[in-house]
Amino acid sequence: MRSGVPLDPFWGGVWIRSGAGWESVICDRWARVEAAPGGLTVSWMEGVSEALWLQQHLAADEVLKPILASFPDDAPLRAAVARCRGLRLLRQEPWECLASFICSSTKQIVQIRQIVALLSERWGHPVAVPPEAVLNRAFPTAATLVSAGEGALRDCKLGFRAPYVLDAARRVVEGRLDLEGLARMETPAAREALMEIHGVGRKIADCVLLFAYGRQDAFPIDVWVRRALSQLYFPRVHQVSAARLESFSESYFGPYSGYAQQYLFHYIRLEAGR
DNA sequence: GCCCAGGTGAAGC
DNA sequence: GCTTCACATGGG
């Protein structure tokens, strides 16, 4: 998020280029962010002096130094930290995060963004924006998506994921899934609750736990992280089993393993040349 | 055309 | 239990 990572620094929600910076709609509010010497310059609509919601989303108060210092001192993480200087985990809205990651299965990241953008354009509620803004709608609420229906979701290119998002939305609307309550639950119990949703397995549940709730004991293993762990930590093993990667990830990376996951994820993608 | 993508659930041994 | 496969859709 600092100047060391000039390309595509924002991974939660929809961010688009705006001059030298980026714009997005965060927590139902329009925002613009631009890298500046020693930090970020942010602009928003409200006439107040502080944008706590935005600071919180960007995890601006999180101090990286002790987090990075807690990583195991090994070559892969040293390289990843050097390559992704300033990278930090966003604190995303639970519902948007959950719905977005349900849309993520066997989709490329650009396509996931496209789906989220489509859902917002068609079904999101309008927010106050300045004249130059391009984005002007929030991510749709669960209730809106329930009333929109499966066909509408398929029209937004969700494909077979449409009923999955609908199931999640219904659970939220009917109170069978308490997204605020998850924050007060132990990680394993919260994970179980998320995995009751049709279309949410271990990986998506862990993404929500890490990216929306900041659970450092959630370590989502997707194709990229599997690639990273296999290549960097088990280079001589032909095919590392999922069970082995899971137990390794649980024991090796320390108290900020979620952060380590993020650094490895972005590092291996950068190395892959994209 | 073919393979793969920030996976998951169901069906098959 | 573990392995295989379908699922929509688009990019390389």
Give per-residue pLDDT as tens, A162-180.
999 999 999 999 999 999 9
pLDDT band at A200 (very low <50, low <70, confident <90, very high): very high
Co-location of A202 and A122 in the same domain:
yes
Higher pLDDT, A96 or A5: A96
Q: How sure is the predictor about A212, in pLDDT bands with cuts at 50, 70 and 90?
A: very high
Largest CA distance in chain A: 58
* Domain count within chain A: 2
The reply to whether the CB atom of residue A139 sits less than 7 A from any atom in nucleic acid chain B is no
Mean pLDDT, chain A, integer: 92
Over residues A224-242, the pLDDT tens digits come to 999 999 999 999 988 899 9
Residue of A172, A209, A173 lying closest to A97 (CA atoms): A209
List chain C nucleotides near protein: any atom < 7 Å from a Cβ: 2, 7-11
Evaluate if the CB of A261 falls below 7 Å from strand B: yes
C-alpha A175 chain-centroid distance: 24
Q: What is the mean pLDDT of residues A43-69?
A: 87
- Whether A6 shows a pLDDT value over 80: the answer reads no
**What is the C-alpha separation between A14 and A138, in angstroms, rounded?**
10
Is strand C less than 7 A from the beta carbon of A201?
Answer: no
Domain containing A153 equals 92-211
Q: Is residue A57 part of a domain?
A: no
Domain assignment present for residue A231? The answer is yes
Residue A144 counted as domain residue: yes
Residues of A 134-193 whose CB lies less than 7 Å from any atom of strand C = 154, 157, 159-160
The token duo for A180 is 């605020």
Last residue of a domain, one of A181, A211, A241: A211
Give the relative orientation of helices A75-83 and A223-233 as an angle to the nearest 10 degrees.
Answer: 130
Look up residue A260 and give its two tokens: 């380590």
A10 confidence band (pLDDT: 50, 70, 90): low
Q: Are residues A174 and A259 in the same domain?
A: no
Q: Does residue A65 have an active-site annotation? A: no
Q: Is A241 in the same domain as A207? A: no
Asked whether strand C has any atom less than 7 Å from the CB of A108, the reply is yes
Residue nearest to nucleotide B9 (CA to C1'): A199
Which one of A160, A183, A211 terminates a domain? A211
- pTM reported for the whole predicted model: 0.95
- Please indicate whether residue A51 or residue A274 has the higher confidence score (pLDDT): A51
Round and report the angstrom distance from CA (A198) to C1' (B12).
21
* A19-35 mean pLDDT: 91
Final residue in a domain of this structure, among A211, A227, A253:
A211
Span A145-168, mean pLDDT? 98
Between CA A84 and CA A87 the distance in angstroms is 6
- Mean of pLDDT values over A3-31: 76
Regarding whether A257 and A199 lie in a shared domain, the answer is no
Q: How high is the pLDDT of residue A47?
A: 64
SS3 A161: helix
- Cβ of residue A202 near strand C, that is under 7 Å? no
Residue A2 has a pLDDT of 29
Residues A122 and A159 in one domain: yes
